[in-house]
Amino acid sequence: MPTPEPATVAADLRVAMGRLARRVKQEDRIPHGQVAVLGVLDRDGAMTTSDLAADQRVRPQSMARAVGLLMEQGLVVRRAHPTDGRKSLVDLSDVGRAALEAERDRRADWLARAIDLELDEDEQRTLARGAALMERLAAY
């Protein structure tokens, strides 16, 4: 079997990764946009609503509404900005951190079940090698 062209592999991989990501997100119980905000706060720490909007590529007004919903649910808290009294920072609450972890666990559990039920042992080994290669590409 000839080695496929890198451009072909790249296109196929992009499509497959997109489909898999969308399927895994179907396991979420919190709307995807809210999970994305919680994930950013978990990875990057507290930030202003404007910074969150820029990160998520949405208008500040849209992010302000999303943050308001997250606050109503107790998933985030607002606190004073340490250097600018006119601003406030949005941060994960303990409840938000637990909810995010539950979402991540649900996704991982679904994926582990799918791997176990859909792939034979040789395919699982191949997938494990592929995951390591994808990590290497991500670090490029």
Domains defined for the chain, CATH in brackets: 18-138 (1.10.10.10)
The string of pLDDT tens digits covering residues 55-96 is 999 999 999 999 999 999 999 999 999 998 899 999 999 999
The four Cα atoms 41, 45, 49, 54 give a dihedral, to 10 degrees, of -80
Task: Report the C-alpha gap between 17 and 74 in whole angstroms.
Answer: 32
pLDDT at 130 over 90: yes
Confidence class for position 129, pLDDT limits 50, 70, 90? very high
Query: Is residue 91 within 8 Å of 79, Cβ to Cβ?
Result: yes
